[in-house]
């Protein structure tokens, strides 16, 4: 029997509130965003109706003379405040408690490459409460993606009042494409994130109840 | 916006087919539990409406009279303007220039109706700006007409009132806040491209507001009124945001 330290993961109440607020907001933003996209798709495909948010679209043809686009837009511009609150709390918590520097740093291209190769060949061990370099990079990446969603979203919402921002994104039609690209990045992050939670379910316990422990009798991979 | 108006049989089949998909684990499936979409319920819709009203106030705060919509060169103007209304192009009923009158009402001193001839005699300002639809599509168009603010002052409107409303020949109706009505780029367009407004683009009068989404730019306008009661809008009555500034 090895002398492995018991693993423990803790999340403060604030961190958990920030996490789940963002999770709910992102689901609302993506679901309604897909309904809005489907009304006038940018690319030659549509999202399946049943996965989008914006009410019963067949009912909407009678009540609103549309496909629920107005309803979806109402969701989108309500969800944006929820996301702003969740993201704000997350950043506040990360900066004030030092969570960002303590858990998401240090991060170098070398450690990232090492852990990325290990993960790709299924040789990367997961220790509760510790983040590997790939995870660290992903968390910085998704934070950047959310920031870019706010920026490109504002550029689409206010192309006159915030004309300089729309200009930075290359104009109104280009800002829509940027908004789509970072949405895709967030969806990709969520897919990997949820898959890893399924592989290590105790991380879900920690993010919900605040604490999870693991006392390995043998070093696990 | 080109919108479906009635449910056709093909859609009804799709509604039945949809029930097969309801079992799948998804956001849509979650909200469809119970056979109808719970997000269409009164409580959810009332909450969304309340937030939309809050967003009206945020947008009014973000609006600045000195922020101008970008003006483009003649070479950047789209060759063909996009037709849009709540019905198809073939259902447009052209307005007879001889019998047309622009009615004025509410907080206006001189409520004398205006003829097409008088409207066309007003000084015109040209603008080439981007028309942005709430659906996401957009194009650069060219319009000309007298600034609405100049017209309102000319007819002795109370510009301290809160809103300006519009009625249209096709039953459409819209309204905007006074700061937007007085914005220098808000014009009473009587031309589109290099010609007098064609029937399908709103002859004889379209209110062109480059600081608002497309649906806040009414066409075939037959009445203008000034009021302190927020005018209803065709699409905001159907769940769209009222202010809809850009």
Please answer yes or no on whether B40 and A55 come within 8 Å at the CB atom: yes
Q: Which of B69, B130, B239 sits opposite A74 (nearest CB)?
A: B239
Chain B residues near residue A39 by CB distance under 8 angstroms? 135-136
Residue B26, chain A, CB below 8 Å: the answer is: yes
Q: Would you call B4 and A61 a contact, using CB atoms and an 8 Å cutoff?
A: yes
Give the residue extent of every domain in chain A.
9-104, 107-221
Residues B118 and B23 in one domain: no
Q: Identify the CATH number of the domain in which residue B232 sits.
A: 3.90.420.10
pLDDT of residue B209: 98
Residue B50 lies in a domain: no
Confirm or reject contact between A183 and chain B (CB < 8 A): no
Let me know if residue B214 belongs to a domain: yes
Q: Do B28 and A51 touch (CB under 8 A)?
A: yes
- Give how far B202 is from chain A: nearest CA, Å: 21
Choose the closest CB to B7 out of A55, A58, A81. Answer: A58
Of the pLDDT bands very low, low, confident and very high (cuts 50, 70, 90), residue A75 is very high
pLDDT band at B5 (very low <50, low <70, confident <90, very high): very low
Which of A74, A80, A175 is the best substitution to test chain B (most B C-beta atoms within 10 A)? A74
B119-158 residue pLDDT tens: 999 999 999 999 999 999 999 999 999 999 999 999 999 9
Whether residue B1 is predicted with pLDDT greater than 90 in this model: the reply is no
Cβ contact A213:A7 at 8 Å: yes
Assess B91–A contact: CB distance below 8 Å, yes or no: no
* Residue B196 parent element (H or E): strand B195-196
- Give the structural domain span for B151: 59-238
Q: Does B81 touch chain A (CB under 8 A)?
A: no
Residue B8 lies in a domain: yes
Q: What is the mean pLDDT of residues A2-25?
A: 86
Q: Which residues of B touch A77 (CB under 8 A)?
A: 51-52, 55, 241
The closest alpha carbon to B148, from B173, B168, B128, B119, belongs to B119
Query: Within this chain, do residues B35 and B68 fall inside the same structural domain, yes or no?
Result: no
Distance, CA of B165 to CA of A38 (rounded, Å): 32
Q: Which of A53, A55, A160 sits opposite B246 (nearest CB)?
A: A160
Instruction: Average the pLDDT over B181-193 and give the result.
Output: 97
- Looking at the structure, tell me whether residues B68 and B150 fall in a common domain: yes
Q: Nearest C-alpha of chain B: how many angstroms from A18?
A: 21
Minimal CA–CA distance to A86: which of A151, A28, A24, A136?
A24
* CA neighbor of A143 nearest in space, from A104, A109, A191: A104
CA distance A135 to A36: 32
Which pLDDT tens digit goes with each residue over B212-234? 999 999 999 999 999 999 999 99
**Residue B44, in any domain of the structure:** no
Scan for tokens 């809160």, then name that residue.
Answer: B162
Q: Does B30 touch chain A (CB under 8 A)?
A: no
Contact status of B180 with chain A (Cβ, < 8 Å): no
Q: Tell me what pLDDT residue B24 has.
A: 43
- Among B38, B213, B246, most A C-beta atoms within 10 A, so best to mutate, is B246
Residues B19 and B74 in one domain: no
| Count of domains for chain B | 2
The answer to whether residue A75 neighbours chain B at the CB level (below 8 Å) is: yes
Lowest mean pLDDT among A17-31, A128-142, B81-95, B120-134: A128-142
**B221, part of any domain:** yes
pLDDT greater than 50 at residue B169: yes
Residues B232 and B133 in one domain: yes
Of B15, B235, B239, the CB nearest to A71: B239
**Contact criterion met (CB < 8 Å) for B63 and A161:** yes
Answer for the pair B119, B207: CB distance below 8 angstroms, yes or no. no
Distance from CA of B113 to the nearest CA of A (A): 33
Spell out which residues of chain A touch residue B29, defining contact as CB-CB under 8 Å.
Answer: 50
Residue B53 forms part of a structural domain: no
User: Does B213 contact A at CB distance below 8 Å?
Assistant: no
Do B123 and B28 fall into the same domain? no
Question: Are B103 and B12 contained in the same domain?
Answer: no
Residue B97 resides in a domain: yes
Tell me the pLDDT tens digit for each residue of A138-175.
999 999 999 999 999 999 999 999 999 999 999 999 99
CA torsion sign for A139, A144, A150, A156 is negative
Does B89 share its domain with B4? no
Shared domain for B174 and B66, answered yes or no, is: yes
Instruction: Report yes or no: A152 at the B interface, CB cutoff 8 Å.
Output: no
Dmax (CA) for chain B in angstroms is 64
Closest Cα in chain B, distance from residue A81 (Å): 9
Candidates A32, A34, A55: best to mutate against B (most CBs of B within 10 A) is A55
- Compute the radius of gyration of chain A from its Cα atoms: 20
- Tokens 């947008």 locate to B59
| Residue B56 DSSP SS3 | helix
Whether A32 has a pLDDT exceeding 60, the answer reads yes
Residues 6 or more apart in contact with residue A42 via CB below 8 angstroms = A176, A177, A180, B136
CB contact under 8 A, B27 and A78: no
B63 touches chain A (CB under 8 A): yes
User: Rounded mean pLDDT of chain B?
Assistant: 89
List phi, psi (to 5°) of B206.
Answer: -125, 140
In DSSP terms, B177 is beta-bridged to B163
């Amino acid at each position: 029997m090895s002398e492995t330290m018991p693993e423990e993961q803790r999340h403060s109440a604030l961190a958990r509130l920030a996490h789940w607020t963002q999770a709910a907001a992102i689901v609302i933003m993506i679901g309604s965003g897909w309904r809005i996209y489907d009304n006038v798709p940018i690319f030659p495909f549509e999202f399946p109706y049943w996965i989008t948010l914006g009410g019963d679209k067949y009912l909407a043809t009678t009540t609103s003379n549309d496909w629920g686009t107005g309803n979806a837009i109402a969701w989108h511009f309500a969800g944006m405040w929820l996301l702003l609150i969740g993201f704000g709390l997350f950043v506040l918590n990360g900066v004030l408690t030092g969570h960002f520097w303590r858990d998401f740093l240090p991060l170098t291209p070398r450690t990232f490459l090492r852990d990325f190769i290990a993960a790709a060949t299924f040789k990367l061990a997961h220790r509760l409460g510790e983040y590997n370099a790939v995870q660290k990079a992903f968390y910085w990446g998704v934070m950047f993606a959310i920031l870019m969603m706010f920026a490109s979203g504002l550029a689409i919402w206010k192309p006159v009042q915030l004309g300089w921002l729309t200009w930075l994104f290359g104009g109104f039609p280009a800002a829509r494409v940027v908004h789509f690209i970072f949405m895709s990045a967030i969806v990709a992050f969520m897919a990997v994130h949820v898959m890893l939670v399924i592989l290590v379910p105790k991380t879900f316990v920690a993010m919900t109840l605040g604490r999870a422990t693991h006392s390995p009798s043998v070093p696990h991979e | 916006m080109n919108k479906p108006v009635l449910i056709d049989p093909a859609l009804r089949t799709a509604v039945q087919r949809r029930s097969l998909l309801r079992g799948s684990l998804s956001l849509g499936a979650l909200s469809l539990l119970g056979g109808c979409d719970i997000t269409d319920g009164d409580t959810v819709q009332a909450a969304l409406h309340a937030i939309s009203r809050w967003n009206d106030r945020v947008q009014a705060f973000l609006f600045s009279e000195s922020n101008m919509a970008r003006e483009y060169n003649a070479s950047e103007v789209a060759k063909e303007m996009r037709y849009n209304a709540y019905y198809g192009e073939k259902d447009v009923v052209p307005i007879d220039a001889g019998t047309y009158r622009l009615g004025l009402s509410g907080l206006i001193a001189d409520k004398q109706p205006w003829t097409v001839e008088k409207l066309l005699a007003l000084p015109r300002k040209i603008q080439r700006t981007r028309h942005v639809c709430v659906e996401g599509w957009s194009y650069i168009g060219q319009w000309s007409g007298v600034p609405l603010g100049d017209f309102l002052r000319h007819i002795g409107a109370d510009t301290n009132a809160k809103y300006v409303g519009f009625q249209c020949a096709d039953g459409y109706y819209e309204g905007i806040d006074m700061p937007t009505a007085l914005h220098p780029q808000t014009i009473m367009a009587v031309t589109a491209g290099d010609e007098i407004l064609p029937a399908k683009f709103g002859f004889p009068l379209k209110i062109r507001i480059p600081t608002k989404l497309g649906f806040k730019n009414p066409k075939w306008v037959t009445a203008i009124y000034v009021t302190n009661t927020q005018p209803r809008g065709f699409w905001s009555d159907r769940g769209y945001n009222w202010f809809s500034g850009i």
